[in-house]
């Protein structure tokens, strides 16, 4: 997302990496044409807002998923200026206050065990 190891400042506690940049400086840059379940993260131009989305897929009569170009368009419409595609498929799940808010694509709609994830909390 525009950060490399030579310009990381001490104020950054955590940094996330991703391969597919779908939206860079407000321009859709990746248009992989296969629809799949997807997870994406992005931020606004002023870097004050973070956008997280999960798109379900691989489920007949429910959702086929989205292409990276479609995710780029959605993120842009939400207000993101830059966004990346994270892991997808059965790894795509969003949990809010302990409740899964989407329908993961693994059999039975269950969450897949993953090595890492993105957690958002509020300051008290």
pTM (two decimals):
0.83
Residue 34 has pLDDT above 60, yes or no: yes
pLDDT of residue 25: 96
CB 69 within 8 A of CB 22: yes
Instruction: Residue 29: count other Cβ atoms within 10 Å of its Cβ.
Output: 15
Give the mean pLDDT of 45-57.
96
pLDDT of residue 11: 60
Map out the domains of the chain as residue ranges. Answer: 20-91
pLDDT tens, position by position, 61-97: 999 999 999 999 999 999 999 999 998 899 999 999 9
Name the average pLDDT for the chain.
87
Give the mean pLDDT of 27-51.
94
Question: How far is the C-alpha of 96 from the C-alpha of 108, rounded, in Å?
Answer: 20
Q: Over pLDDT 90: what percentage of the chain?
A: 60
Question: How far is the C-alpha of 89 from the C-alpha of 105, rounded, in Å?
Answer: 7
Q: Look at the alpha carbons of 106, 98, 71, 40 in this order and tell me if their dihedral is positive or negative.
A: negative
* Least confident stretch, 40-44, 55-59, 89-93, 105-109: 105-109
HEC profile of 36-86: ECEEEEEECCCCCCEEEEEECCCECCCECCECHHHHHHHHHHHCCCEEEEC
**Maximum distance among all alpha carbons in the chain?**
48
Residue 22 has pLDDT above 90, yes or no: yes
């Amino acid at each position: 997302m525009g950060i490399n190891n030579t310009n990381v400042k001490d104020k950054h506690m955590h940094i996330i990496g991703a391969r597919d940049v779908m939206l860079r400086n407000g321009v859709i840059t990746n248009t992989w044409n296969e629809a799949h379940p997807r997870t994406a993260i992005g931020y606004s131009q002023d870097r004050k807002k973070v956008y997280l989305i999960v798109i379900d897929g691989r489920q007949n009569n429910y959702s086929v998923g989205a292409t990276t170009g479609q995710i780029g368009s959605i993120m842009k419409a939400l207000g993101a200026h830059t966004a990346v595609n994270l892991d997808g498929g059965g790894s795509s799940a969003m949990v809010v206050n302990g409740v899964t808010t989407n329908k993961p694509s693994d059999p039975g709609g269950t969450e897949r065990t993953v090595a890492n994830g993105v957690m958002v909390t509020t300051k008290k």
